[in-house]
Structure 1
Amino acid sequence: MDSANAAASAGITAPSRAGSSRRAMQIFAAILIVAAALYSFHLGKDALGASEAYSAWAASKPGVAAIVRTPVMDDPGKQVFYYAVLHYYTRIFGLSEVALRSMSATLAVVSLLLIFALGRQMFDAETGVAAAAIWAFNPLAIVFAQTARMYPMFIAISLAHLLTLIRVRSRPSTARAIGCGVLGAAMPYTHMAGLLIVGAEAAMLLRDFTRGRRDPMVWLAMAIALGLFLPYVPVAARQSHDLMYGHSLDYLGPAYNYSLTDKVAALAIAAGFGLWLIFGRAVEKDRDEPLRWLVTWAAIPTLAFVIGSIVLHPMFNPRYLSPGIAATSILVAGGIGAWSIKWRNLLAAGFALLCLILSPFARAKPQPWRELARQVAAGGPAEPVFFESGFVSNGRTANEPSAGFPFGYYSVVFNYYFRGPNPRVAVPGYDPQSARATIESRVSAAGGGWLASWKDGDSVRSELPDAKNFKIVETHREPDLGIYRITPAPR
């Protein structure tokens, strides 16, 4: 006896599928409203971070051509599509902190809509609601939504591309294939990790091909995506070279010293897992294999970054995997739902509630730039502010010549908050002796100055002036940032 007959025999009206779907839509609408309010809360309270200031700097350029022409050394990780959209967005809404971050908050809400749509497309509406609840209040989702960087756009475009690809796969049409291809090209234009997502999708389409599912429309979509990205390949190649070699001093750090045996073993494990994903025996009853698709979509980019970090150079950062992390909410909801719908709903609601309780503690530490601007203004217009040029090194001593950030990494965020006439002086972060000589000379002439350094306390000492002749006060310290007030010592 099925559930409907059992309910009828007991004199109970079983909920219809339409009623269940309506209830799911109502719950999702409530999640969406609460999430939108949370994402929009206090968008302008904290000062911009350094990376956010680069978004404002790029958006303020006169046009898209100027954004594209930005030297790689000035902004080696620039993502053209995000900056271009932000440029036109801020022409309407301005360059305030709220305006800059509101685009991220809007895209975060769009991502929730896409997660729900994907969950419903691949499973059912209830799975879509559970997946949205899991992601909506995740601390990572909140941080992305309130930060003026490309990650909410990267997540939204990637999820939209996956949704259109799934639809092209199930209901092929030329129009859908073209739309899917355009979204596929937009991914790497927003973040280079999008190429890995395209690779993961191609791997699953290869699985379809070997299993007799050979619709040309999905391959047309892939061809359009790669074809539209081809004009940007020379720029991407220059960026990749700079990120791999110039950025060896970046926050990801110098190469690991893994043995050849370890590297070969890591490659073998990754290759074995990849081959299983593509050619392994099906374990799902659903011919579309939604769980395998989601695992592949999230796992292959992750594997690529992990293996690349072992074999070549550190390159793993969770932010680069943000679309896969967001899609994992669908994987979790779908996987648990296949086992128990009751437990899926309970765990999704419990996780969302826990995240909401912890959300006040997930806020990043406020940046000090407004206060620094006030202090510099109070010190007088002649006092210089020093910034280290070269690629940032996460506190490690950078002793190799580097042309990166020639005006100093932190100068962009400082200039966002300070418009006074004080000289901004770039000192070579990779040459502490030269930096010290410049700081001592300029501070002696002006009677005071400031240093904003990305080095840790031990590394920065070699470029700070002699304590016998100068008074040095550390006014702010956090990871990757120290601010120092420097004045000649009283005689």
Structure 2
Amino acid sequence: MDLPASAREGMKIARPKSAISRAVADKGIPMDGRASRRPLEIFAAILVAGGFIYSYHLGTDALGASEAYSAWAASKPGISAIVRTPVLHDPGKQVFYYVVLHYYTRIFGLSEISLRSMSVIFSLTTLVLVFALGCEMFDDNTALAAAAIWAFNPLAVVFAQTARMYPMLISIALAHLLLLLRVRSRPGIASGIGCGILGAALPYTHMAGLLILGAEGAILLRDLAHGRRDTMAWMALILAIALFVPYLPIALQQSQDLIYGHSLDYLGPPLNYSLAIKLVVGLTAAGAALWLVFGRSLERNGEEPIRLLVVWIVLPPLAFIVGSVMLHPMFNLRYLSPGIAASSLLIAGLLGAASIKWRNLLAAGFALLCLIVLPFDRPKPQPWRDLVEQVAAGDKSAPVFFESGYVSNGNTAEVPNGGFPFGYYSVPFDYYFRGDNPRIAIPGFDSAAARMTIEERVSSAGGGWLVSWKDGDAVKSELPDPKRFSVAEKYRSEHLAFYRITPIGK
């Protein structure tokens, strides 16, 4: 029986949505195929707010010691001198950041604002990449939630306002992951070459980039186990490694120095776990890695975006944990910064799989909470301007002593090493101080020799200053004889102390 036109129209309206229609609706894409502008507009607002927050108070606080090393490396006359900086004085920190900062500061100068503004640029780039990855792996609303989760995170703000390589590392890592995913699904020669170049930039920025490349290799291994060849993606990874090979001998030497040369002792001395514990940790980590790479699929989406993110985020810290147990402490939150940023995507993806409504509410709530907390979460300002003023106000002939050697804890401070031969804290001091006071390096690993030098030079000059990275108990052994010298502690914080030393009766 033929139904009236009005009845047929009513049946069309009442017809349940198809799976494709529901998916399109969840993605915020109208049925005419055009992408919704609302997530883009909200993301643009987040990006503008992020730019304002990241740029706020950029030049207010003095540079920290590590930031001063960035300025020192960037001020070198050329690339060859820049390359020698991390090799000789700062193992583990590779050259790419210093080279980019060198050319950036040639245009904008070496002020605190100029040095930190490059980190702001990379941090805003990271926000764009988080959104782009969310669109690539999930949908634009999930991408928006991930961007909101990361944008005002206190850790993201700290990275943006610090003149160090970590914002660049995060940005390069996420850009490489995005390009790898596109090469994996839509192979192309140009994109494959670009992916390889970006991959090589990772370890040239920080040695932790090698672990990220390893995690991406694990992702491609899982594809291979499921019959997916990813030829162009494999070629991109091979190109990345090939481009890093010329630097490999230097990287290996730095790795040995990092592990055995005590430059990581600020993380703590070796813990000397028993063989049984090492075996348990090693086997557990290996089992977890194997399950992540070869375990059965738990997602309906054949691309497995959740597992892919878990592999990319979890494998690098797993390697650091195993290395810390087997060899020497090497785990630091900053080294995992790309994975921390990518965790916003993982959280948004998991929440979206459970409930789109709760994903949106929690992402907005977390962003609001971060904005409330930020004014109370500013790091303690560095004291270098105040210390310099004290020295400048005193005798111009009074020497300033700096301990050479790697910044260490406990008994390892007494282990001879060639780290920072001019004194670790001389670089931030010299960034702010322009006086003529002699700067003298004393061996931080030889308290007796350091004490002898301090007593001799202070006696002849009538006074002096000591800038130390040792704690109160460790520094006592290098301070001069209290019967002949007066020692006044002018400043103390973690890993930094400042003393005024004068002969008694002066």
Give the aligned partner of residue 404 of structure 1. 419
Give the aligned partner of residue 10 of structure 1. none
Instruction: Judge conservation of contact 2:269–2:409 (CA < 8 Å) in 1.
Output: no
Shift in Å, 1:191: 0.6
Give the aligned partner of residue 179 of structure 1. 194
Counterparts in 2 of 1:457 and 1:309: CA distance versus 1, 3 Å:
same
CA distance in 2, matches of 1:236, 1:253: 22
Relative to the length of structure 2, the TM-score reads 0.93
Instruction: Judge conservation of contact 1:76–1:239 (CA < 8 Å) in 2.
Output: yes
Matched residues, number: 484
Calculate the aligned-residue CA RMSD, in Å. Answer: 1.8
Match of 1:62 among 77, 87, 92: 77
Q: What is the letter of the counterpart of residue 413 of structure 1?
A: P
Match of 2:335 among 320, 345, 355: 320
Instruction: Judge conservation of contact 2:94–2:206 (CA < 8 Å) in 1.
Output: yes
Give the aligned partner of residue 189 of structure 1. 204
CA distance in 1, matches of 2:291, 2:441: 52
Give the aligned partner of residue 76 of structure 1. 91
Q: What is the letter of the counterpart of residue 420 of structure 1?
A: G
Structure 1, residues 285-336: CA drift from partner, whole Å, max 9, x if none?
A: 1111110110000000010001110111100001000000100100000111
CA distance in 2, matches of 1:353, 1:251: 35
Residue identity over aligned pairs, in percent, reads: 66
Instruction: Judge conservation of contact 2:153–2:370 (CA < 8 Å) in 1.
Output: yes
Give the aligned partner of residue 114 of structure 2. 99
Q: What is the letter of the counterpart of residue 183 of structure 1?
A: L
Instruction: Judge conservation of contact 1:394–1:480 (CA < 8 Å) in 2.
Output: no
Match of 1:133 among 148, 152, 161: 148
Instruction: Judge conservation of contact 2:220–2:230 (CA < 8 Å) in 1.
Output: no
Match of 1:267 among 255, 263, 282: 282
Alignment of 1:287-326 (within 5 A): 287-326=302-341
Q: Give SS of 1:47's match.
A: coil
Instruction: Judge conservation of contact 1:395–1:455 (CA < 8 Å) in 2.
Output: no
Instruction: Judge conservation of contact 1:82–1:150 (CA < 8 Å) in 2.
Output: yes
CA distance in 1, matches of 2:412, 2:317: 29
Shift in Å, 1:426: 0.4
CA distance in 2, matches of 1:436, 1:397: 18
Counterparts in 2 of 1:394 and 1:479: CA distance versus 1, 3 Å:
farther
Q: What is the letter of the counterpart of residue 363 of structure 2?
A: A
Counterparts in 2 of 1:15 and 1:266: CA distance versus 1, 3 Å:
closer
Instruction: Judge conservation of contact 1:396–1:455 (CA < 8 Å) in 2.
Output: no
Alignment of 1:19-418 (within 5 A): 21-70=36-85, 72-247=87-262, 250-394=265-409, 398-418=413-433
Instruction: Judge conservation of contact 2:401–2:441 (CA < 8 Å) in 1.
Output: yes
Q: Give SS of 1:413's match.
A: helix
Q: Give SS of 1:21's match.
A: coil
Give the aligned partner of residue 5 of structure 2. none
Alignment of 1:434-445 (within 5 A): 434-445=449-460
CA distance in 1, matches of 2:330, 2:165: 18
Q: Which runs of 5+ in 2 are unaligned?
A: 1-14, 22-27
CA distance in 2, matches of 1:179, 1:231: 19
CA distance in 2, matches of 1:285, 1:122: 13
Structure 1, residues 397-432: CA drift from partner, whole Å, max 9, x if none?
A: 611111110000000010000011110000011111
Give the aligned partner of residue 448 of structure 1. 463
Match of 2:30 among 9, 12, 16: 16
Instruction: Judge conservation of contact 1:90–1:99 (CA < 8 Å) in 2.
Output: yes
Instruction: Judge conservation of contact 1:116–1:125 (CA < 8 Å) in 2.
Output: yes
Match of 2:497 among 476, 482, 491: 482
Q: Give SS of 2:43's match.
A: helix
Structure 1, residues 170-211: CA drift from partner, whole Å, max 9, x if none?
A: 111111111110000000000101111111111110110111
Question: Which structure is larger by alpha-carbon Rg, 1 or 2?
Answer: 2
Shift in Å, 1:465: 1.2
Shift in Å, 1:79: 1.7
CA distance in 1, matches of 2:410, 2:327: 22
Instruction: Judge conservation of contact 1:396–1:456 (CA < 8 Å) in 2.
Output: no
Q: What is the letter of the counterpart of residue 349 of structure 1?
A: A
CA distance in 2, matches of 1:116, 1:206: 26
CA distance in 1, matches of 2:467, 2:340: 34
Instruction: Judge conservation of contact 1:397–1:459 (CA < 8 Å) in 2.
Output: no
Q: Give SS of 2:197's match.
A: helix
Q: Which runs of 5+ in 1 are unaligned?
A: 8-13
CA distance in 1, matches of 2:393, 2:463: 12
Give the aligned partner of residue 425 of structure 1. 440
Counterparts in 2 of 1:371 and 1:94: CA distance versus 1, 3 Å:
same
CA distance in 1, matches of 2:367, 2:392: 45
Shift in Å, 1:485: 1.1
Q: What is the letter of the counterpart of residue 138 of structure 2?
A: F
CA distance in 2, matches of 1:92, 1:287: 48
CA distance in 2, matches of 1:415, 1:323: 32
Shift in Å, 1:76: 2.0
Instruction: Judge conservation of contact 1:60–1:87 (CA < 8 Å) in 2.
Output: yes
CA distance in 2, matches of 1:233, 1:435: 36
Q: Give SS of 2:85's match.
A: coil
Q: Give SS of 1:490's match.
A: coil
Q: Give SS of 1:398's match.
A: helix
CA distance in 1, matches of 2:333, 2:90: 20
